[in-house]
Amino acid sequence: MLSEKYLRMTQLSSSIGLAYRAALQRAAEIGGENVFDYSMGNPSVPAPEQFADAVVEIVRRTPHIELHSYCHSGGAPALREAIVADLNARFATQYCPEDIFIASGAAGAMAHALRAVVSPGEEVITFAPFFPEYAPYVDGAGGILKVVPANIDTFQINFEAFEQLICEKTAAVIIDSPNNPTGVVYTEQTLRRLAEILEAKQKQFGHPIYLLSDEPYREIVFSGFVVPCVPKYYTNTLVCYSFSKSLSIPGQRLGYIAVAEDCAGREHLLPMFSQISRFIGHDSTSVLIQLAAAKTIGQMADLSVYERNKNLLYPALLEMGYECVEPGGTFYLFPRSLEPDANAFCAKAQEENLFLVPGDTFGCKGHFRLSYCVPTEKVERSLDAFYRLIQHYQRRR
Amino acid sequence: MLSEKYLRMTQLSSSIGLAYRAALQRAAEIGGENVFDYSMGNPSVPAPEQFADAVVEIVRRTPHIELHSYCHSGGAPALREAIVADLNARFATQYCPEDIFIASGAAGAMAHALRAVVSPGEEVITFAPFFPEYAPYVDGAGGILKVVPANIDTFQINFEAFEQLICEKTAAVIIDSPNNPTGVVYTEQTLRRLAEILEAKQKQFGHPIYLLSDEPYREIVFSGFVVPCVPKYYTNTLVCYSFSKSLSIPGQRLGYIAVAEDCAGREHLLPMFSQISRFIGHDSTSVLIQLAAAKTIGQMADLSVYERNKNLLYPALLEMGYECVEPGGTFYLFPRSLEPDANAFCAKAQEENLFLVPGDTFGCKGHFRLSYCVPTEKVERSLDAFYRLIQHYQRRR
């Protein structure tokens, strides 16, 4: 008989998908140029040209056995070496290739990392607002997801609430900075405080608490902001990275887990990740893509459109009267909705052909997410709609 | 704390991996040319040239959004359409693109299919000898794997034992023809009988029993043998296919599930597969690889070396006195070991620089697997070693 678990999952619709499909439908009615679809976080910029060049060179010149045979379950050695060289040069870290596990995107990295460090019944803490896919990944590891309420004034960590939630059963803590959906970057101060608490709790409970740092947006950082290197602050860190944004190749499914130097259980983790791949039936991703990424590391897609869009949208929304914490990176804004029920607000916005996602999806009511990975001219033309929307609410007051 | 489950998995060593590493070590000592490594099933022939041409054309000409954006979780429409056109033309089936789910190899396909049709506590039946990775996939679905003992005279199904095992808790049955490790192809008669029993048991128990047909070797079929189209015999069939052998691209991780026409729960299965991807954190595979396969479908790697090797090895072994059921496809032979303990036999074989895998790994003692996806000259030069090995045992009698 069909599995109840997965059948039930098909019956829940994601509000991101709903907004996206509503935008598509409206586009069919009034023309795509008149619809402002801020629903999906789908990178919009081209991959660096070197990526295509690398693919062509590899497919033409690499011996069959090297290119097409089964890959080591940890990933292609060339890619693991290139990642380590890049990380160590940029962050003065001491990774070696055996610390890197190639995964299918940051999603695959996170799901693997959770299965490795969480046992059934243990707890995982994350911070609202958060990427909703953490829930199925934690479930897959048999863990229980606990969510620290948002600090809506800064979207830094609400430490008081965190200290109340952390307990003997806490196996892991997930952070996501630059953050989806707020765009906020955790400060050095936030990371220091977080590390202090985790160190103290590890001692108190007598077992490691792993910090899983989800970093798909690490390279989309705006002028004036710095993304600290998380493993420098806390030893038991697993960084989950994706090439989806830096190389703008989400469809190629490539990312990795980097196990920090001196991380507890370091010698076991890589072999465990390989066993997890066996268990779920999915090894990382295409060797061709891995080799192409190895040759392209250090290049970057032209991510400037995201900052250009942020520089246009963020001050314009503030000036109109929207309230929003300034994003330090990503291609998201997470303003307060103009009525307490963000779902009602987003429905209202659709009347202005603005397709937004209610914050409820990310565990933070009263806000909405705006994904501005769209052409800048679209952002410009959407400002009037945002203005009409706030005017509608101001008239009601 | 580290997950006990996956940590324990790292401590079990696969006998395939052990034989492979032993072969590598011997090669370092006496030179690779003197070592006959029959351990791994790693396709040895080049991908068809059209595959590289397709990759180059796609990476040069496909618009960024189409090539690099997130893919539909069911797979790239172009590939699903190409698969359906190919299947329907070859087998007069009636698949439509919505019946195809793109997975990372037959492994990913099988793991997904099991999660969809098996609920925790239900049973899955397979037939010895069998591909050992079914055990973790069934475990991942929360199911219990039951193994029908081998019919060692033909390696067709031992129906008597099967009828004793099948029960109300049976949710799915896995077949693998052409078979790894025997190379045997199930006859039409076998499939008819299997379908009859399954139909009767479905009626008796009042619920569907899914037939998961694992077909990575469907295209490696030797002269005189025909691989029947399984869904023609039984409606509730999910075919799990891989391009690893047909296009000889195992490193690119590409396969699919095909849901048969009129399969019970057909309308739910594809959305469930997508949810399973979410749950495990891994979407199918690279869009570039999917689009390249779409353009290459109908082409085939030159698989003739496998038949050439079989035609050399199989009669030669019989003539020396080995006992072996004739393989109808794949690149495996599964002869009886020359002493009851296949592990001891394979250790003895290593003294002749023959690296073989004991049948115990596949749930069938007293046999050994021989993967002849190696250059033909290697097969030729290995015959003396097989001869010395059997002489050793004959002298002992």
Write out pLDDT tens, residues B303-331: 999 999 999 999 999 999 999 999 999 99
Over residues B115-124, the pLDDT tens digits come to 999 999 999 9
Over residues B185-214, the pLDDT tens digits come to 999 999 999 999 999 999 999 999 999 999
Give Dmax over CA atoms of chain B in angstroms: 70
CA distance A100 to B9: 20
Phi, psi of B289 (to 5 degrees): -65, -40
Q: Please tell me the predicted confidence (pLDDT) of residue A187.
A: 98
Whether pLDDT at A13 is above 80: no
Q: Which residues in chain A touch residue B285, judged by CB atoms under 8 angstroms apart?
A: 104, 253, 285-286
Whether pLDDT at A218 is above 80: yes
**Nearest to residue A3, comparing CAs of B142, B217, B278, B261?**
B142
Q: Which residues in chain B touch residue A45, judged by CB atoms under 8 angstroms apart?
A: 64
Q: Please tell me the predicted confidence (pLDDT) of residue B218.
A: 96
Helix spans in chain B (H): 4-11, 15-30, 49-61, 64-68, 77-91, 105-117, 134-140, 159-165, 188-205, 243-246, 266-280, 287-296, 304-320, 342-351, 376-396
For residues A134 and A180, is the Cβ–Cβ distance under 8 A?
no
In percent, the amount of chain B with pLDDT more than 70 equals: 100
Q: Please tell me the predicted confidence (pLDDT) of residue B337.
A: 98
Hey, is the C-beta of B283 within 8 angstroms of any chain A C-beta? yes
Hey, is the C-beta of B110 within 8 angstroms of any chain A C-beta? yes
> Other C-beta atoms within 10 Å of B348: how many?
18
**Shortest alpha-carbon distance between residue B178 and chain A (Å):** 20
Q: Which residues in chain A touch residue B250, judged by CB atoms under 8 angstroms apart?
A: 68-70
Whether pLDDT at A165 is above 90: yes
Higher pLDDT, A167 or B41: A167
Q: Which residues are within 8 A (CB) of B248 and not within 5 positions of it... i.e. 6 or more apart? A: A64, A68, B43, B45, B46, B47, B48, B301, B303
Q: Please tell me the predicted confidence (pLDDT) of residue A12.
A: 83
Contact B289 A288 (CB under 8 A): yes
Average pLDDT, stretch B168-191? 98
Query: Which residue type occupies B254?
Result: L
Q: Please tell me the predicted confidence (pLDDT) of residue A232.
A: 97
CA distance B293 to B252: 10
**Shortest alpha-carbon distance between residue B339 and chain A (Å):** 32
First to last CA, chain A: 55
Q: Which of B9, B44, B283 sits opposite A253 (nearest CB)?
A: B283
**Nearest to residue B294, comparing CAs of B110, B109, B102?**
B102
In which residue are the tokens 């004034």 written? A153
pLDDT level of residue A373 (50, 70, 90 thresholds): very high
In percent, the amount of chain A with pLDDT more than 70 equals: 100
| CA distances for B351 relative to A382, B26, B40, B201, angstroms | 75, 10, 19, 49
Q: What pTM value is reported for the model?
A: 0.96
Q: Which residues in chain A touch residue B249, judged by CB atoms under 8 angstroms apart?
A: 68
Q: Which of A50, A68, A246, A284 to mutate to test the interface with B (most CBs of B within 10 A)?
A: A68
For residues B389 and B322, is the Cβ–Cβ distance under 8 A?
no
Q: Please tell me the predicted confidence (pLDDT) of residue A65.
A: 87
Contact B275 A64 (CB under 8 A): no
In this prediction, does ipTM exceed 0.90? yes
**Shortest alpha-carbon distance between residue B191 and chain A (Å):** 22
For residues B290 and B235, is the Cβ–Cβ distance under 8 A?
no
- Which structure tokens are listed for A169? 């059963």
Contact B276 A43 (CB under 8 A): no
Q: Which of A47, A281, A288 sits opposite B107 (nearest CB)?
A: A281
Q: Please tell me the predicted confidence (pLDDT) of residue A75.
A: 96
Whether pLDDT at A79 is above 80: yes
Q: Please tell me the predicted confidence (pLDDT) of residue A225.
A: 97
> Other C-beta atoms within 10 Å of B11: how many?
9
Hey, is the C-beta of B21 within 8 angstroms of any chain A C-beta? no
Hey, is the C-beta of B105 within 8 angstroms of any chain A C-beta? yes
**SS3 state of residue B395:** helix
CA distance B21 to B14: 11
Whether pLDDT at B396 is above 80: no
Which residue of chain A is at minimal alpha-carbon distance from B279? A136
Q: Which residues in chain B touch residue A271, judged by CB atoms under 8 angstroms apart?
A: 10
Q: Please tell me the predicted confidence (pLDDT) of residue A284.
A: 77
For chain B, how many residues are written?
397
Which residue of chain B is at minimal alpha-carbon distance from A253? B286
Geometric angle at alpha carbon B278, from B277 and B279, rounded to 5°? 90
Hey, is the C-beta of A71 within 8 angstroms of any chain B C-beta? yes
**Nearest to residue A13, comparing CAs of A364, A372, A361?**
A361
Q: Please tell me the predicted confidence (pLDDT) of residue A396.
A: 76
Which residue of chain B is at minimal alpha-carbon distance from A73? B251
Whether pLDDT at B371 is above 90: yes
Hey, is the C-beta of A271 within 8 angstroms of any chain B C-beta? yes
Whether pLDDT at A200 is above 90: yes
Whether pLDDT at B261 is above 80: yes
Phi, psi of B278 (to 5 degrees): -55, -50
Contact A272 B1 (CB under 8 A): no
Phi, psi of A47 (to 5 degrees): -65, 155
Contact A281 B10 (CB under 8 A): no
Average pLDDT, stretch B353-369? 97
Hey, is the C-beta of A140 within 8 angstroms of any chain B C-beta? yes
Average pLDDT, stretch A117-126? 97
Whether pLDDT at B284 is above 80: no
> Other C-beta atoms within 10 Å of A144: how many?
17
CA distance B152 to B335: 10
Geometric angle at alpha carbon B271, from B270 and B273, rounded to 5°? 65
pLDDT level of residue A254 (50, 70, 90 thresholds): very high
Q: Which residues are within 8 A (CB) of B223 and not within 5 positions of it... i.e. 6 or more apart? A: B307
* Sheet of strand B368-371: strand arrangement: B332-333, B368-371, B357-358
Q: Which residues in chain A touch residue B104, judged by CB atoms under 8 angstroms apart?
A: 104, 281-283, 285
- Which structure tokens are listed for A98? 């055996």
Whether pLDDT at B260 is above 80: yes
Hey, is the C-beta of A132 within 8 angstroms of any chain B C-beta? no
Range scoring the smallest mean pLDDT among A147-161, A315-329, A344-358, B11-25:
B11-25
CA distance B1 to A196: 19
Which residue of chain A is at minimal alpha-carbon distance from B281? A108
Q: Which residues in chain B touch residue A249, judged by CB atoms under 8 angstroms apart?
A: 68
Q: Please tell me the predicted confidence (pLDDT) of residue B255.
A: 97
What's chain B's average pLDDT? 96
Query: Which residue type occupies A210?
Result: Y
Contact B279 A139 (CB under 8 A): yes
Q: Which residues are within 8 A (CB) of A134 and not within 5 positions of it... i.e. 6 or more apart? A: A110, A124, A126, A145, A174
Hey, is the C-beta of B282 within 8 angstroms of any chain A C-beta? yes
**Shortest alpha-carbon distance between residue B4 and chain A (Å):** 7
Average pLDDT, stretch B152-176? 98
